[in-house]
Amino acid sequence: MKRRAVSQRPPPPLMGSNDYCRSGLIGVSCGHIGLFVMTQPYIREPAVAGLFYPSDSGELRKSIDRVLSENHCEGMAAKAMILPHAGYPYSGPVAAKGYSLLEPIASQIKRVVLLGPAHRVAFSGIAFSSAEAFATPLGVVEVDRESIDSILEMDAVLILDEAHEKEHCLEVHIPFLQTLLGSFKIVPGVVGEVSSDRVASILESLWGGPETLIIISSDLSHFHDYDSARIMDAETSRCISGNCPEGIRSESACGRLPILGLLQLAEAKKMTIQTLDLRNSGDTAGPRDRVVGYGAFAFH
């Protein structure tokens, strides 16, 4: 994949010393010309490359190509999806079921809204990043600053880079998107303590048209034995596909809050919801005494 460059602001035209002082670029005093220094754009570097997925770009690309070819799913193109966020050997096959639906519409997607639960930092609201781009071993993807700026005045929206620095739930999706899509931007939000109403309102504001894809990042049950997890996850799948939010509890899915927001909006928009895949780590790459559940769900 061709590496995409992050655009930088060009240097300003020649100015007098007072102009530099007024611009805030640099200057020791308004009577003397100071040294002009271009600030570098803030790029959020990968936190889990080499842990959740390969850090080598060639190996990563082969891994994604393989899991997509082995887990192809036929179906309608989705406007929104709920997909898991564990290490690729564990949840990659389930995520691939969802991502394979994008192939026929990949060229039209220009913006991806990514919402997932906070695992590292406790806070209230939905935290967006101040970064100009997110990096992975496959290159950098620009952040849609215009979209984030458009919702900054909404309740519960904040800029909190700390919430993104070590968070894996959004990062693991970006290499899949880089593999499948052309030129696109992301709107990455980490969800803390917030009401489903707030999540729904923010999603509605970012909904857009066919150029926008919504991804909710969530695993399902955590650390139960295989048989117990299958029962729990089957019930959660029934509640998601049937849009029964009252049945989704905190232990049902780590991304419960963004899931509830999407379900609320899906109800208002009369969307249909399809379960694409339902497995756990005991089915993919791990032992069966203590598993994590994964589901892929498409919203049409």
What is the tens place of the pLDDT at every residue in 254-274?
999 999 999 999 999 999 999
In this prediction, residue 1 carries a pLDDT of 39
**122 and 26 in one domain?**
no
What is the tens place of the pLDDT at every residue in 106-165?
999 999 999 999 999 999 999 999 999 999 999 999 999 999 999 999 999 999 999 999
Assign 37 a pLDDT band (cuts: 50, 70, 90).
low
Q: How many domains are contained in the chain?
A: 2
What is the tens place of the pLDDT at every residue in 188-209?
999 999 999 999 999 999 999 9
The reply to whether 3 falls in a domain is: no
**138 and 32 in one domain?**
no
The reply to whether 8 falls in a domain is: no
CATH number for the domain spanning 62: value is 3.40.830.10
Range of the domain at 120: 45-299
Q: How is the chain classified by DSSP, letter by letter?
A: -PPPPPP-PPPPPP--HHHHHHHTS--SBTTB-----PPPPPEE--SSBTTTB-SSHHHHHHHHHHHHHHT---SPPPSEEEE--S-HHHHHHHHHHHHGGGGGGGGG--EEEEEEE-SS---BSEEE---SEEEETTEEEEB-HHHHHHHTTSTTEEE-THHHHS--TTGGGHHHHHHH-SS-EEEEEEE-B--HHHHHHHHHHH--STTEEEEEE----EEE-HHHHHHHHHHHHHHHHTT-GGG--TTT-TTHHHHHHHHHHHHHTT--EEEEEEEEHHHHTS-SSSEEEEEEEEE-
**176 and 115 in one domain?**
yes
The reply to whether 249 falls in a domain is: yes
What is the tens place of the pLDDT at every residue in 208-238?
999 999 999 999 999 999 999 999 999 999 9
**18 and 73 in one domain?**
no
The reply to whether 9 falls in a domain is: no
Percent of the chain with pLDDT over 70: 87
